Amino acid sequence: MRLLLAVVVILPLLAQRGAGARGQAGRPDAAASKPEPEEGIPVNDSLVIEKCSSCHQKDAKGNLSRISFVRTTPEGWQEAIKRMLRLNGLQLKPEEARAIVKSLSATHGLAPEEAKPVMYIAEQRIIDETIPNDTVREACTSCHALGRAASWRRSKEDWDLLAAMHTGLYPVSDISFHRFRPPSDAPPQPGVDTRQPVEQALEYLSKTYPLHTPEWATWRARMRAPKLSGRWLVSGYQLGRGKVIGEMQVEPGGSDDEFTTSLKLTYLKDGSTVTRTGKANVFTGYSWRGRSAAKSAAAAPSPTNAGGVPEELREVMWVSPDQSQMEGRWFWGAYQEFGFDVTLRRAGDGPSVLAVDRTMLKTGSTAQRVKIYGDNFPRVTAADIDFGTGVTVKRLVDQDVGHVTAEVDVDAKAIVGKRDVSVRRAVVPNAIAVYDKIDYLKVSPETALARLGGNSHPKGFQQFDAIAYNRGPDDKPHTPDDVELGPVDAEWSVEEFYAVYGDDDKDFVGALSPSGFFTPSSEGPNPKRKFSRNNYGDVWVVATYKGELGKDGKPLTAKSYLVVSIPLYVRWDQPEVGQ
């Protein structure tokens, strides 16, 4: 039954365009009532034509059915091609698949501006997505992130066919796509949209994510080979371990969109270093997908080595259109739960500032040491260093080409807020915050997910950070002008999130280390638990900071909502694009 349904749905999924065109030629009257089909984007690559056109018919304009009417990220292409291999009978060698993903990403890709808002998909970040409206939420977000859809641009017809593919392959989509309504004789209410959620969602998607956009037209003209060889300065942040800085040397690889890399990073907090070598592909002129391996084997993540950088990590970055910067995430872990948020800047001939070793300076404090890290620093004096008004550089403690340590006094009335730090004309924006008081904390991430494992599935860990905030110039906490001050050393504990009577999740879900590193328990039934349930559950992760007291005279606290779930059995990751 399932198979029959799939066949019935899929035949029209491919034939529609061809048949539509033939129908129009044969019956001009019918054509008049049908809207003109949208122009496709022709496919000229002979390998793509050879491998795909047996099923995806080529028309007189060089369009392949379906393929010419969609654009997407390298991951989007990789995923679609995997389905062709898995379900539709396509046969490809791995190197052919790689070449096709590259080719289609270049001719049927996203513009950098289109890709930026959905980078979190490739970067494997867990975020709270902004969903435009309730019908889109209902129709498209119950099985996967909306970012999956927002990673595509399609003709109206192809958005409709995508929904048809879902109905054919995943009949449960029907529950999300259609609402059951009892028959009604009542006349339709004016202003009430009675269309099914899927129809409303498809209208939204085809308007918001059309095949042809000015961004893509501009990028097609502007796209050029990524000339990324050279020395890059890295600054980044790892949850729980703080800031890193370093250098990445990029060398040409096998072709003009492939590179090899060597990397050295230093954690500012403890001075430990990471050295790695790697390689990367750059798709569509700006989509860096790489991986690097440790020069010396490092330990697996554990409470004592929270998020320790492992053998292999993946790099996903967005290269700025002018090729002067890259930003993104380098990640690892069974659920890609560990990672650096990184920014890379091309090293220049002159000085650049990368980072400072602390994140906040208190008003009225004196002789505060701040170490400024950078590249190509000349010999400087106190007058060359600037933290903005109210912060006076008294003297320089030491300096060399890579750093300068300044001793500063902070005026009692210095304006509260983030400051740029500059060494002559080189500047690092928003590098350090001036504050009078820590008003409250937040736990990052505010909502979190860990996964049971250790028997037959890997564990999904979670690191937490306690971030301090100042109430900002309006004197009111929890308003948009509040100033983020950076992480503070907090004490960590787990509290029950009361959802049911006799809630006992706290005792079973796992353990939180003194540094805020959560290790989930093992998966599978637990005879020690009531009803031998799995160790899943939801709890509060609480940070307590005693360095400053709140209005009530008590230490500051904040919490994060942690869900500890079962292992993930189906993955929609596309790691191949980085190989």
Residues that bind ligand HEC (CB under 6 A): 10, 13-14, 51-52, 54-56, 66-67, 70, 79-81, 83-84, 88-90, 100, 139-140, 142-144, 148-149, 152, 161-163, 165-166, 170, 172-173, 176, 198, 201, 205
Q: Are 284 and 275 in contact (CB under 8 A)?
A: no
Choice between 13 and 488, CB closer to ligand HEC? 13
Q: Give the amino acid at 191.
A: G
Is it true that the peptide bond before 117 is cis, omega within 30 degrees of 0?
no
Q: Which residues, in sequence order, are CB contacts of 526 under 8 Å at separation 6+?
A: 508, 532, 533, 534, 535
What distance in Å separates the CA atoms of residue 49 and residue 69, rounded to the nearest whole number? 15
Best CA proximity match to 306, nearest among 3, 85, 516, 96? 516
Q: Give the amino acid at 542.
A: V
Q: Are 344 and 327 in contact (CB under 8 A)?
A: yes
Choice between 163 and 244, CB closer to ligand HEC? 163
Q: Are 148 and 121 in contact (CB under 8 A)?
A: yes
Choice between 104 and 512, CB closer to ligand HEC? 104
Choice between 88 and 532, CB closer to ligand HEC? 88
Q: How far is the CB of 284 from ligand HEC (least distance, A)?
A: 16
Q: How far is the CB of 17 from ligand HEC (least distance, A)?
A: 11
Q: How far is the CB of 21 from ligand HEC (least distance, A)?
A: 18
Choice between 165 and 382, CB closer to ligand HEC? 165
Q: How far is the CB of 287 from ligand HEC (least distance, A)?
A: 17
What distance in Å separates the CA atoms of residue 125 and residue 135, rounded to the nearest whole number? 24
Taking CA 108 as the corner, what is the angle to CA 15 and CA 222, rounded to the nearest 5 degrees? 155
Cα–Cα distances (Å) from 357 to 191, 242, 366, 393, in that order, read 58, 10, 17, 16
Choice between 152 and 545, CB closer to ligand HEC? 152
Q: How far is the CB of 573 from ligand HEC (least distance, A)?
A: 12
Q: Are 543 and 491 in contact (CB under 8 A)?
A: yes
What distance in Å separates the CA atoms of residue 482 and residue 505, rounded to the nearest whole number? 34
Q: How far is the CB of 579 from ligand HEC (least distance, A)?
A: 18
Count CA atoms within 13 Å of residue 447 on its CB side.
Answer: 7
Taking CA 449 as the corner, what is the angle to CA 149 and CA 73, rounded to the nearest 5 degrees? 25
Best CA proximity match to 337, nearest among 565, 539, 525? 565
Q: How far is the CB of 142 from ligand HEC (least distance, A)?
A: 5
Choice between 201 and 309, CB closer to ligand HEC? 201
Choice between 88 and 133, CB closer to ligand HEC? 88
Q: How far is the CB of 77 from ligand HEC (least distance, A)?
A: 7
